[in-house]
Structure 1
Amino acid sequence: MSNEDTPVNNKPSSVRMNVFFFAAFVIFSILIFRLAFVQFVEGPELTYMETSRNTKDIPLAPVRGPIYDATGEVALAYSEPVQSLYVLLYEDYRNDDRKQEAQELADELAAVFKQFNPGDKEQPDAEEILKRLDLESQKAHGYTPRLVKSDLNMKEIAYFMEKKAEYPGAMVLEENVRKYDPDRVAVQVIGYTREFKGQQDNLDKYREISKSEATERDPGLRYTQQEKVGVDGLEFQYQEELRGRSGYQSIDINLRNLPEGTMQQTPPEKGYSLVSTINKEIQMAAQQAITDELRKLPKAVTGYAVAMEVDTGNVVAMASMPDYDPNDWDYDKIKYVYRNGTMASFPPDDSKKHTESVVLLGSVIKPLSVLIGLKEGLFTTGQTYPDQGYAILGKDGRKVRNSHSAYNGNITARRAIEKSSNAFMIDMVGKRLLNKYGSDKGLDVWHEHMQEFGLGVSTGVDLPGEFLGRLEYKNKDESALTRLAFASFGQQGKYTTLQLAQYTTMLANKGKRMEPHLVKEIRDADGNVVKKIKPKVLNEVDFADVYWNEVHKGMVTRVSSFEGFPYDYARKTGTSEQGTGPNKKENGVFIAFAPRDNPKLAIAVVVPEGGFGSVSASPIARKIFDAYDEVYGLDGTPKGKKDQGKDTE
């Protein structure tokens, strides 16, 4: 047989195939065995671990952003870092044996605090520490760290950092305490903060946040019960911007809601900062001016002032006095003064701690009354009126007199403003408006004009709790004639000082209702501007320029407190009367803008029970104008502080 006919030997290939199949069999056998082992042996344990372990994210309060004055440098509200001691409970301390351990821990901590910080008057003793540990988990979940003490001193911090091994559940965390300028700058404007847990039933904003907490997946937006939130003023209005984002601690918990393992921490993010329109120097001048006047006045106990830039709507000063120390909150001490009386309404109290904050405008309404009369064609700029010192109302011949029953003779609209003639307003505006339109329509027309000038409607200010006014001319218990007649000289509508300032601004710029605002910039944590608040015109009225000029020329009442004032300015004094006989109250009211021909600043001042506005309210306005002139310049050139050391003649 030849070599070509010899069969080929395939034995090596057969062996390799057998090895491959054997290896595959072994591998699959191991996998099947492992799966069976996992299912039948380890399965129950893994199931227990899956059901008994969970990861919780515990929010850490964010760092609240500061609020600056108009310079962007003076912090009116800021967050000051403090170190706090928290304790994480790894065991259930509700049984008697564990309670003894908790008592021993409380005793140890109390001794440490006493040793390293003996002068702390708010030092928690062992009993108080046990309450804060919340062993029954009545205030917080079992896995939530318990706040034992805030504002640790350096010795306490060093001790707990060194003794970590001895206190496995204890941890020192940085928190922030809200502080305010000690000079008490515009405290009712800035507002204040309180713990979130106390506000969920009081304010709609926090009620909605509380409802959404269960479904909120972003830990940065979750609130803790102890987190401080804005309750009033800018703190409340800009809560979302100031707040920032929560940090959080992630930890595994078991079926007993107790922590297991090591806690991982993600730090909180700082909130945005606000640059307000309030200038500290001007604000302090306003506050001091009101305080000085209240000392001189026998009956007045409160006073309000708002200074608003004519072109921008920036509120450079908003003073509600008396005020309070926001760093020392005691409700019993401040309950009569913590609200912003320039824009809120509260009634007088029997103890004479404060008077009604919203008063009748009195004669400061007369420039608007004349504008309405001219606009409605009730008289002309040159038309005269024989002012006998009174006007007669109704068939019974009731006389309503001018102040001091002043007889003014033949006067034009301009002179009626200057002389503050009640008679002119009644006969030429109130009665004629009624005759032109009839009772109901006449009152409607008056109401529409009031609203156009921001009286009886929202000013649009970026503050919460604005009172819209009390429109007594809507009271149908009196005749339409009486209501319109008295409304024409300021005795039928109660408005806030802020509304009065917006109205004055509108007189100054001839018809543009500027939105007042207290914030001009919002900045991020790095100081970058993320939003600028631009001037906003809410509405405009179309009155002939000759009408505006006539009114401006009439706003020249002599005011002694403005002697030596270096600018021509427009002004109107007012004294609104409430009640009769021994219950009669006279409220001082004053409005002004300067300079007259190129207005920069409008001011409104109200001093309840202050008497004549020329005496009680105008000196306050003068000091605010002077302060603005020093800082910004009423003519655009800042004058700076005058040298108090030089004698002047």
Structure 2
Amino acid sequence: MFNRWKKSKMVTEDPPVNKLSSARLNMFFFAAFVIFSILIFRLAFVQFVEGPELTYMETSRNTKDIPLAPVRGPIYDATGEVALAYSVPVQSLYVMLYEDYSRGARQEEARELADDLAGVFQQFNPGDPEQPDAEEIIKRLDLESQKAHGYTPRLVKSDLNTQEIAYFMEKKAEYPGAMVLEENVRRYDPDGVAVQAIGYTREFKGQQQNSEKYKKIGEAEATERDPGLRYTQQENVGVDGLEFQYQEVLRGRSGYQSIDINARNLPEGAMEQTPPQKGYSLVSTINKEVQLAAQEAITDELRRLPKAVTGYAVAMEVDTGNVVAMASMPDYDPNDWDYDKIKFVYRNGTMASFPPDDSRKKAESVVLLGSVIKPLSVLIGLKEGLFTAGQTYFDQGYAILGKDGRQVKNSHSAYNGHITARRAIEKSSNAFMIDMVGKRLLNKYGSVEGINKWDEYMKDFGLGVSTGVDLPGEFLGRLEYKEDHESGLTRLAFASFGQQAKYTTLQLAQYTTMLANKGKRMEPHLVKEIRDANGNVVKKIQPKVLNEVEFADAYWNEVHRGMVTKVSSFDGFAYDFARKTGTSEQGTGPNKKENGVFIAFAPRDNPKLAVAVVVPEGGFGSVSAAPVARKIFDAYDEVYGLNGIPKGKKDAEQQ
């Protein structure tokens, strides 16, 4: 090819001009000129003639995504089958305002619509006590757009019945702005299972002032580009308990309605809808049967005790940290929210500090621990070399503090004679703890360092620090031994037998778990699984050791052997178990209050469950708190088996 082209070029260097080709080329250039001229003219026309109109259309029309509340995921009990919180679909009537109905004749049209809708509601659902009348419907239509943008659909009525739904679907052409949309309302187990731990939901509107989490969400709304993450003011959000703690997990994604709006902020054209997505579900560690047993046991005791009005219990598995029961009584019905009725009981008293009434004349939900601290006092004494396991102490019924000879007595001024550390736990000797622990710790380290050393041990056992629980609003404790209104001797002496710090029932349960497993501080948690909308497990919560303390095994055994206080409510109990009663005192004279406290774990040699019970103003722990613990252990044994074999299943097999 190359050779032929080269040869041809050499033979014909100046070919003659083709007149036909030249004419065609001229025609091509002329056509291009005409087309180019037309384009120039069209661009000029668009810019100078149609430009203002197109600019107005560009600036006056916009597409808005109106969020639709997501479907909140359920919260199950430990079986994964019993829903403690769940969402129920309901049909709601919304009205889209395509015109400005705030004045003149349009306002009259809106009033006619309100009268019409009120008549329909009255016709098909006359017995509804919350039936909106025409005036209420006008308020909900928000004609002045004070509560929502002009393009936002107005909620007129929720939870339509089947007749109302059928009517508006059939008469759709007569109500061009009306829409029947599916929404969800939150419901809770009617038996009222661990309601303070599960929590509750409220409208997002107003929560920004009460929660840093929702404040940040509200501030991010203006720049949030993902419509699935946008919140509506009417959307229900978690306010307490697991509902709040796992808000982002449970919420799901918002749906949205896309619609064009004009310069007046009113909708134009048809609306396109993207449905919301269901949130993930939680499988809690709370077992409904064990939880109800705890709640009923506390309620029974409160009926029997003359002064007590509240009671708290936490049952925690020793190896896993699973909280199988968390009872704060009295509780409330989250399906019938009335703040005035529940304002003194809606808080979770097992982990929060609050008075049961507004006068503070009653005992708080956190109390002094009393004698249940004595196993730890003995551990500290043994670890610090303040005494040995076999060393005896002569307990004459009291200890003497200071140069003035102040006597601090045992309960009932009990005379115990010569006792060892183990016997001091069993007999609950205040005198032993003061003379052998409090005073000797002071002598070894001095006032300031002695108190710091005590505080260090307390925190190692989860007393005075966060337990790490997956719930909001945890109270860390009130450490009175760190306040310098009394001498170091007095503070350490009284701290040694449980009269210088207040802790929550949850902290007490974590401490009991450490006594049971010999030093591992397990993180308590109330959720063990997170599942997607199809029921697939997306996350398992694994046991977590927060910290571990090292004591000689002989020290642990000595303490465990001392935890044998006699409690009649455990007569006939099938397992050997470790326990300690406590009766903490607050106030003096006529204002003196005695709080019942009890801790236990079972079985003693292979512990499965640790239980802590606090009954403010319940009197002796052996009388007020121990019976509650017994019923919790029995319920756990029935469902899970304290020896690994559920008693209920075993009984069924024997039958």
TM over 0.5: yes
Structure 1 match to 2:626: 618
Which residue in 1 is equivalent to 2:53? 45
Q: 1:557 Cα shift?
A: 0.6
C-alpha deviation, 1:352, in angstroms: 8.3
Per-residue CA distance 1:41-98 (angstroms, 9 max, x = gap): 2222111100110111111111111000001111000111111111111111122221
Distance 1:113 1:317, change over 3 A: same
Report % sequence identity. 87
AA in 2 matched with 1:438: G
Equivalent positions of 1:118-517 (< 5 A) are 118-349=126-357, 355-517=363-525
Q: Aligned match of 2:98 in 85, 90, 94?
A: 90
Structure 1 residue 542 corresponds to structure 2 residue 573: no
Unaligned runs of 5+ in 2: 1-14
Q: 1:186 to 1:408 in 2, by over 3 A?
A: same
2:570 pairs, out of 562, 572, 587, with: 562
CA distance in 1, matches of 2:333, 2:209: 26
Q: Counterpart amino acid of 1:307?
A: A
How far residue 348 of structure 1 moved from its aligned partner, in angstroms, is 4.8
Q: Please tell me whether the aligned partners of residues 344 and 356 of structure 2 are also in contact (alpha carbons under 8 angstroms).
A: no
| Larger deviation, residues 193-202 vs 503-512 | 193-202
Distance 1:633 1:296 in 2: 29
Contiguous gaps of at least 5 residues in structure 1 = 1-6, 645-649
The one of 67, 72, 89 equivalent to 1:64 is: 72
Equivalent position SS for 2:138:
helix
1:606 maps onto 2:614 in alignment:
yes
CA contact (8 A) 1:82 1:174 kept: yes
Instruction: Pick one of 586, 596, 605 that aligns with 2:594.
Output: 586
Q: 1:641 to 1:399 in 2, by over 3 A?
A: farther
Q: Match of 1:609, SS? A: coil
In structure 1, the residue corresponding to 2:291 is in which secondary structure?
helix
Equivalent position of 2:9 in the other structure: none
Give the superposition deviation at 1:164.
Answer: 1.5
Tell whether the 8 Å contact from 1:301 to 1:355 is kept in structure 2 after alignment: no
Does the residue aligned with 2:208 lie in a helix, a strand or coil? coil
Q: Secondary structure at the match of 2:333?
A: coil
Deviations 1:360-413 (A, max 9, x none): 000000000000000000000000000001111111111111111111010000
**Helix, strand or coil at the partner of 2:89:** strand
CA shift, 1:35, in A, is 1.7
| Contact kept in structure 2, 1:110 and 1:124, CA below 8 Å | yes
Structure 2 SS opposite 1:462: coil
Instruction: Tell me the SS of whatever aligns to 1:640.
Output: helix
- Is residue 305–residue 606 contact of structure 1 (8 Å, CA) maintained in 2? yes
TM-score by length of 2: 0.96
* CA distance, structure 2, for counterparts of residue 413 and residue 343 of structure 1: 31
1:440–1:480 Cα contact (<8 Å) kept: yes
Query: By how many angstroms is 1:36 displaced?
Result: 2.3
Contact conserved, 2:353 with 2:364, CA < 8 A, in 1?
yes
In 2, Cα distance between the equivalents of 1:581 and 1:10? 129
Report if aligned partners of 2:310, 2:615 keep a CA contact under 8 Å in 1. Answer: yes
Offset from partner CA, 1:92-145 (integer Å, 9 cap, x none): 112222111111111111111111111111010000000001111111111111
Deviation at 1:39, TM superposition (A): 1.8
The aligned amino acid for 2:615 is V
> How big is the shift at 1:475?
1.8
The match for 2:8 is none
Name the CA distance, whole Å, in 1 between partners of 2:310 and 2:71.
Answer: 36
Q: How much does 1:643 deviate? A: 8.0
CA distance in 1: counterparts of 2:22 and 2:360, whole angstroms: 112
Q: What whole-Å deviation, never above 9, does each CA across 1:509-554 have from its counterpart, x for those lacking one?
A: 0000000000001111111111111100010111000000000000
Counterpart-to-counterpart distance in 2, 1:512 and 1:179? 38
Q: Does the 8 A contact of 1:336 with 1:353 survive in 2?
A: no
The one-letter code sitting in structure 1 at the alignment partner of 2:169 is M
**Deviations 1:320-370, CA, capped at 9 Å, x for gaps:** 001000000000111111000000001353668964100000000000000
> Secondary structure of 1:155's partner?
helix
- What displacement does 1:34 show? 2.0
Distance in 1, Cα, partners of 2:297 & 2:455: 34
In the alignment, the residues of structure 1 paired with residue 35 and residue 162 of structure 2 have an alpha-carbon distance, to the nearest angstrom, of 63
RMSD: 1.6
Question: Partners of 1:209 and 1:350 in 2: how far apart?
Answer: 33
Distance 1:133 1:185 in 2: 38
Describe the superposition over 1:18-50 as per-residue Cα deviations: whole angstroms up to 9, x where unpaired.
443343233223322322222222222111100
Structure 1 position 9, deviation (Å): 9.9
Partner residue in 2 for 1:524 = 532
CA distance in 2, matches of 1:240, 1:599: 36
TM-score scaled by length of structure 1: 0.96
Provide the C-alpha distance between the structure 2 equivalents of 1:454 and 1:405, rounded to a whole number of angstroms. 31
2:94 aligned partner, one-letter code: Y
Q: What one-letter code is carried by the residue in structure 2 that aligns with 1:107?
A: D
Distance (Å, rounded) in 2 between the aligned partners of 1:395 and 1:344: 39
| Count of residue correspondences | 639
